[in-house]
A = this chain, B = another copy of it.
Amino acid sequence: MAPVTDAGTIESRVRIGVLGCGNVGAALIQLIADRGDDILARTGLRLEVTRVAVRNTAKARPVELAEGVVTHDAGGVVDDPDVDLVVEVIGGIEPARTLTLDALKAGKPVVSANKELLASMGAEIFDAADAAGVDVLFEAAVAGAIPLIRPLRESLAGERITRVMGIVNGTTNFILTRMTEDGTSYQEALAEAQSLGYAERDPTADVEGFDAGAKAAIIAMIAFGARVVAGDVYHEGISGITPADIAFARHLGYVVKLLAVVEELDGEIAVRVHPAMVPSDHPLASVRESFNAVFIEGDAVGDLMLYGRGAGGFPTASAVLGDLIDAAVNLRKGSSAHIGRLGAARIRPIDEVRSGYYLNVEVFDRPGVLAAVASVFGEHGVSIRSMEQEGLGDEARLIFITHEAYERDVAATLHDLKNLDVVGTVGSVLRVVGDH
């Protein structure tokens, strides 16, 4: 729409080296080709992909690349004087770490989609970028296409953020959506996710919360300016969730979601990933299928939610391209976004974190059982918010929702409940978040 400015000169070219040409890399190269004229019109800059590093140069790619562009020498791309700016979409720690640090040291901005790297050594990388006075941007590393890092860093720069809760793993959200809407078991829903390509053959990284944990660490760094790494994140996955849990949740007005929760509590950072019951009228409850969303609570801003595609070649490449344009404009201005040094903060252990809880307890149906069970809660200072009883022949099922309580007190309650002779089994325990 905007008119083309005087461009095409040497100064207006920004030459890009792309490390990795999988789904995201190939989609990015395609987008740069398709959108190049419009980007030139808006910014006065011509983005030009001059080098692409791939593992296997013989492999066919969905994008056309000029002779001499493709190489298997990623280090050579970083060092190439014909590369002004580096995009890293290889993933993993090495060689991505060395390549990123080398590029920054050479004064080349880096745009990264690498959550593992940022979650394990974000502070080191931010320091290297600040020392070199160039950008390291990584919108695509968390929640794919959703503008999250830039709003946290810029739009909310003056805000005191208190909590961020995210559905940041599309695979598990797809599985939980199928279990909720179709009543399928975890195993059936996982198999469906695998057949659709949403889940890996070995789904551990997704379903046990490792992927969401890395993203939680990055969110904590950006939201609170604190050094947090993936290893700091407490995580539980969804493989133990049963159709019965989901049915009880629905009956009680909740849906089950895998949440990354990041909070600042008296100067300490609590960061965790676990399944949670979310009230069905909470905005996160309506995030279905493989979509992601991040819910942000701040002192002045109130509640915000950012929703969109968390993965996929083109959505992720769109986020990379937004960063790329920003970094290219800054590079030509001789400017860069300031991240600031991350501060040290104590990571609050899960035992010291408070939450509401859902507990599903099977008891023998005899007089006095509720009093016995309730007194265990009371001994540990865990306050019951609601209880429902359901007959099961000789047995009964008691469903409790507690008020906010410390994890350690709930753990102690569970321990004592299991030792009570009127208690059969203690089923699932789920945290309850987002209640009003």
Contact = CB atoms under 8 A, between A and B. Distances in A.
A341 to B, nearest CB: 6
Given A158-B324, A300-B314, A326-B154, A335 B335 contact: yes
Contacts of A416: none
A309 B302 contact: yes
Top 6 A-B pairs, shortest CB-CB distance: A158-B321, A147-B155, A147-B151, A1-B343, A304-B308, A1-B225
A302 B315 contact: yes
26 contacts: A31-B300, A35-B159, A35-B160, A38-B158, A38-B160, A42-B157, A42-B340, A145-B302, A147-B147, A150-B150, A151-B151, A157-B321, A157-B325, A157-B326, A158-B318, A159-B321, A159-B322, A298-B318, A299-B314, A300-B315, A301-B315, A302-B309, A302-B312, A302-B314, A307-B307, A335-B335
A299 B158 CA distance: 32
A39 interface: yes
Nearest to A47: B158
A139 B158 CA distance: 14
A322 B155 contact: yes
A150 to B, nearest CB: 5
A345 B1 CA distance: 8
Contacts of A291: 303
Contacts of A307: 283, 303-307
Taken together, the copies of this chain in the complex come to: 2
B315 A155 contact: no
Contacts of A58: none
Interface in A332-387: 333, 335, 338, 340-343, 345
Interface string A217-236: 00000001110000000000
Contact of A306 (B159, B306, B309, B338): B306
Interface of A: 1-3, 27, 31-32, 34-35, 38-39, 41-44, 139, 145-147, 150-151, 154-160, 224-226, 267, 281, 283, 285-288, 291, 293, 298-309, 312, 314-315, 317-319, 321-322, 324-326, 329, 333, 335, 338, 340-343, 345
A281 B288 CA distance: 9
A329 B333 CA distance: 14
Nearest to A285: B286
Contacts of A43: 157, 338, 340
Given A145-B301, A304-B145, A340 B2 contact: yes
Contacts of A41: 340
A287 B293 CA distance: 14
Nearest to A146: B304
A291 B307 CA distance: 15
Contacts of A160: 34-35, 38
Q: A307, A309, A341 — which one has the most chain B CB atoms within 10 A of its CB?
A: A307
